[in-house]
Every structure is written in structure tokens, then in C-alpha cells.
Amino acid sequence: MKGLEELLTWIARGLVDEPDAVRVERIDEGDVVVLRLHVADGDVGKVIGRHGRVARALRTVARSAGARGDRRLQLEIAD
């Protein structure tokens, strides 16, 4: 799970203008673990992408990684 947070952080850093502002916050909500992706205000569009394609790909990565464990993983983009 820790590996997933690192992976998402690494991917997001590769997409934004301010990589130092990228942070993944982990929120435990029982059966569901929410990973909240924080980026600089000007970079939110970059992690959402055209037609939300980047966000969808990031969510797929989070979900697939969660499929291995017993808890559902959800990615949120903080704005």
C-alpha cells in the first residue's frame, strides 16, 4: 500500500509544473482507503487531463493496486 502512495506521487510529479507541491494523503475509512492527491493550484488541470483522462487512469491504477488487498482503494483529487 505504501508502494502505491509512492507510485501515485511519482506519476503526479511527472505531470505537474510544481513537483515539490505533490503530496498523497491517506485517509482510512473502514473498508475503504481514500488516497487524496494534493497538487499546486495551477496544476490541478494537469492531473485531471483532457476529458478527465489522466484522472481516470490514476484511479484505475489505484483501484487495480487495491484489488490485491482486502480493502478498496479510492483516489480523490483535492482542489
Partner 1 sequence: MSEVSVEATGETVGEAKWSALRELERLAPGVDRDAVRFQVVSEGERGLLGVGYTPARVVATATRPAVALPPEPTGPAIEGEPAVARALLERSLVALGIAGTVSVEEGDDEVVATVSGHDLGVLIGRHGQMIDALQYLANAIAHRAAGEDRRRIVVDAAGYRARRAATLDSLARRGAEQASATGRRVELEPMSSVERRIVHEALKDDPEVETESEGMEPHRYVVVFPRRTVD
CA-to-CA dists, residue 62 to 17, 20, 31, 41, 42, angstroms = 22, 21, 15, 22, 23
Nearer to partner 1, 26 or 53 (CB): 53
Q: Which residues contact 45 (CB under 8 A, 6 or more apart)?
A: none
Among 34, 40, 46, 48, binds partner 1 (CB under 8 A): 46
By the rule CB under 8 A, 65 interacts with partner 1: yes
Q: List interacting residues with partner 1 (CB under 8 A).
A: 3-4, 6-7, 10-11, 14-15, 17, 19, 46, 49, 51, 53-54, 56-58, 60-61, 64-65, 67-68
